[in-house]
Every structure is written in structure tokens, then in C-alpha cells.
Amino acid sequence: MSDVRVLKAAKLIDGTGQVIEQPRVVIKDKQIESVSSADGTAVPSEAEIIDVGDCTIMPGLIDTHVHLGALNCTSFGTARIARFEITPQLQSFYALFHSQICFEMGFTTMRDAGRGTPRGDFAEEMCAVRDAINNGIIAGPRLLILAECVITGAHLEILTMPRAMQRPEGMTADGPWELRKKVRELLRSGADGIKTSVTGGVSLGTDPSVRNMTPEELHAIVDEAHAFNKPVAVHCFTSEGLHMCVDAGVDTIEHMVYSDDESINRVSEAGIWVVPTLLNRIDYAIDQNALQGMPPLLIETQRAMKPHCFETFRRMKAAGVRIAMGTDIHNVPEMGCAARELEIYVDEGMTPMESILTATRDAAEAIGLGGTVGTVEAGKLADIIAVRGDPLDDVRLLQEADNIGMVMKEGSVYVDRLADSPRTVRHPEPGSWRMIDRE
Ligand SMILES: [Zn+2]
């Protein structure tokens, strides 16, 4: 016997750019069967009715660049020390906790962009979190896990592993064949894709302008991942890096920092998705970094870089570059605040509708899930949220937990703040968990 439900609301932002007043969404098992307005097709008489009243419904939100396995200011006051105090085993429980915080804020799909630990990659731990959710033993968002594959001394290596630290064997790889092997190992361990860096970033002893691998090495990573039908996401801060990404045929370019018109036009023509991560460039995020122990030199680098990031965003948008929402939330600013990224896009010139598309249809396409999620259309999985008010009037509504009235993933309601007895998925309330280094 099939399970048919009809979702009623005041308005639907369907994720394709359309708005439907008084929508009726028929959901059968995990999938959307039909979408119509109130006077459209008749609803099945045996269906259960889910009426979210005055709320606006829209596709579950998608963050294409997040670090759920990051050490967090909610668990440890100083992120730099936490690297050596918290084992990867413990941290994987925090990764689950972080994913649930985001889930409750309406993010039904998230792509994790990886991290290193003093014990090595964190990919297997993140795959375990993903699989625990997929297997239905723990509630959380749909996760895609990127595993890091970088050269010796790359920004992504230095970022999470201080220079004096002893490296586990095989942590990094150099030259096309070593890198190909590393890609194969990471994909064998269950990763959904590869994350690498072609340029430096904000980490001690490196500089955003340095090259982090040769074109030949990047080509090897991309060719090998594509041979397994897996995508490659590339951290890139420079114009030189953008050219390398286009030449190698990468799938997504992460961050918008330094650029020139020639490289931007090439990215636009190639149709490669770019993930802005501007939430990590605002003063609030930089201040949080300072509070959590980021060295003053790097705080200065961040402040100097900031205006270039916003300028590149505006120029990329004007050049027609395909933009998919991603935040780079890690230990800063804090888990659950990803929707602030959309407010930044609007401040920088997008309409609220355009910003919402970056986190729905466009984000889904960028991470290879365009056929299954990202819009509320017949045939898609029923990942739908109900929002108090209309985000097209004020996209900041999505930032407040109280406004995220319902979160449905694959047809099941996991979060219901509209009910008389509100229901959420995670056990602790904000502030009720223990700060490991402060008690
Ligand atoms: Zn990142």
C-alpha cells in the first residue's frame, strides 16, 4: 500500500524560478507526484493532508561547501588546540551533531568539503556519518562527502596540520601517479568526490598567491576521479588557478578571491560552477577566527583579501558565471547559520529569487543531484521546507530557526515547529552541551 500525502501552503517557491499561490503538492512515498494550485488537479481522497497554513513552502536548502567535521566553538573554545585534544573518533560524533544543526535550519542536502586530522584523512569518518543517516539509524541531511587529495605542503594540508607535526604516511601525494593512487584510495573508502587545492590560502607559511600543484598533477586528479564518475571540487584563489581549473575540466571551483576578466570569462564559457563562500569573508567570521586562535598574521591576510572576494563575486555574476551556494562554514562563523550566505548575495546584487535558486536548483545541479532534488516538481524526491513568511520579501527569514516551520526529507517530516508540541531531531538544546576545555 502506498503512502500518499498532500502538502498545502500559502505559497510555493518551486526552485525553478516560479511561484505558485495556494499550492497542493501530492507526495507518494518519497517522491513528489504532482504540483498544482488549489484549483488544479483533484487531490486523492485517501490522502493524509499536511497543511502548513500561511507558510511558504520551497525545496530543502543545499549548501555545497561546508566542513561538518570541523572543530567547533560550541565544543571547544580554541580551535587550534582542539586539533590535538579531540580524536577523529570523537569528532565524527560532533560532525553528526553539526549536520543535525544544519538540518533543523532547513538544509536537507550538504556537501562536505573535507578536512585533515593529526591521524590522517577524515573521509572515512564522514562517510560513516553519511551512511548512518542514509541507513536510517540517525536523522540528518543527505550528505555528499568530498575527500582531500593534495600535494605535500598544500594549503589544505597546512591548514589543519601545523608544520611541526609528524604526518601519517600517505597523507599527501606528489606527481601524477601518486595522486592517481591517492584518488583511487579515497574513492575506495567511499568518498563521493575529490577535493583538492590549486593555490594557497589563508594558512601559516603559505600565501594565497602560490600555486599548489602543476597542471599535469591537477589533470591526473581530475582524469582519475572522472574515470570513476566522481566529481572534483577545487580550492582556488587566483587567476592562474582559474585557468588551470578550466584546462583540467574540474567540476566546481571553490571560493571567489583574486581574479581577472580573462580568467572569469573562461570560467563562464566553460560553464563550470563556482561556489562563493562569502559567509567566511564577512567581518563577523574574521572576528570569530581571531577569538578562536587564528594567528594575527592570518587575520590581517583575511582582512586584506575581503574586498577582492566581494568584487570577484560581482564581476563573476555580471559575466554570467554559474553560481552555486556554498558557505565554507567550519569552526566559524557557527554551524546552522548558512542561510546568511543568501543575504550576502542579495546585498551584492542578486534578487532574493536568484539567491534562493543558488541554494536549490543550481546547488543541486552543481553537485550532480539535479535530477533528484533542488526543486519541487513531479518526479523529484520530496525534500521540502515550510517557512513562516515569504523569503522573497526578506531572504533573512531563512536565518531564524523559529521561521523554519517544517523540514521534510524524502517525504518524511523530521522537524515540525508548527505543531502544538514542536519536534526537532537533535537531543541537546543550544547551550546545553559541554564546552570541553572550559569546565
Ligand atoms: Zn572549505
Q: What is the pLDDT of residues 210-233, one digit of tens each?
A: 999 999 999 999 999 999 999 999
pLDDT of residue 203: 87
pLDDT at position 81 is 82
> How many Å apart are CA 124 and CA 114, to the nearest integer?
10
Residue 124's Cα: distance from chain center in Å?
18
Ligand 1 centroid–CA 66 distance in Å is 6
Distance from C-alpha of 420 to C-alpha of 426, rounded to nearest angstrom: 18
- Separation of 65 CA from ligand 1 center, angstroms? 6
Mean per-residue pLDDT, 202-209: 86
Q: How far is the CA of 110 from the centre of ligand 1 (A)?
A: 13
Report the half-sphere exposure of 54 (CA within 13 A, side-chain side).
Answer: 4
For the chain, the distance separating the N- and C-terminal CA atoms, rounded to the nearest angstrom, is 53
- Decide if 286 contacts 302 (C-beta within 8 A): yes
CA of 280 to the centre of ligand 1 (A): 9
Q: CA 65 to CA 153: how far, in whole Å?
A: 22
Q: Which three cell numbers stand for residue 130?
A: 553519511
- Ligand 1 centre to CA of 234 (Å) is 10
Using DSSP bridges, classify how beta strands 384-387 and 273-275 pair: parallel, antiparallel or unpaired.
unpaired
Cβ neighbours of residue 370 closer than 8 Å, sequence gap 6 or more = 361, 364
What is the residue-averaged pLDDT of the chain? 94
- Residue 378 — pLDDT band, cuts 50, 70, 90? very high
- β-sheet bridge partners, residue 196: 234
pLDDT for position 130: 98
- Res 166: pLDDT: 87
Global model pTM greater than 0.85:
yes
pLDDT for residue 40 is more than 70:
no
Q: For residue 72, what pLDDT is reported?
A: 74
Residues 435, 82: Cα–Cα separation, whole Å:
11
325 Cα: distance to centroid of ligand 1 (angstroms): 13
For the residues 14-42, what does the mean pLDDT come to?
Answer: 92
Report how far ligand 1's centroid is from the alpha carbon of 109 (Å). Answer: 16
All structural domains of the chain, each given as residue ranges with its CATH number in brackets, are 4-59+372-416 (2.30.40.10), 61-338 (3.20.20.140)
Residue 137 CB burial class (10 angstroms; 0-12, 13-18, ≥19): exposed
Q: How far apart, in whole angstroms, are the C-alpha atoms of residue 439 and residue 435?
A: 7
Tell me the CA–centroid distance for residue 146 and ligand 1, in Å: 11
pLDDT the model gives residue 121: 86
Q: How far apart are CA 313 and CA 242, in angstroms?
A: 14
Write down the pLDDT at residue 41: 66
The CA 159 to ligand 1 mean position distance, Å, reads 10
CA distances from 45 to 5, 21, 23, 53, 377 (A): 10, 22, 17, 20, 21
CA 302 – ligand 1 centroid, Å? 14
The residue that leads in pLDDT, 3 or 359, is 359
Answer with the residue of higher pLDDT: 395 or 426: 395
Q: How far is the CA of 55 from the centre of ligand 1 (A)?
A: 33
Whole-angstrom distance, CA of residue 229 vs CA of residue 248: 15
What is the 260 CA–ligand 1 centroid distance (Å)? 22
How many angstroms does the Cα of residue 111 sit away from the middle of ligand 1? 10
Distance 33 CA to ligand 1 centre (A): 36
| Percentage of the residues of the chain whose pLDDT score is greater than 90 | 81
Helices (H), 296-417: 296-318, 340-347, 352-358, 361-366
pLDDT in tens, 54-102: 999 999 999 999 999 988 767 777 887 888 888 999 999 999 999 999 9
416, 139 Cβ separation under 8 angstroms: no
Cα–Cα distance, 239 to 258 (Å, whole number): 6
Mean pLDDT value across residues 17-44: 90
More confident call, 241 vs 118: 241
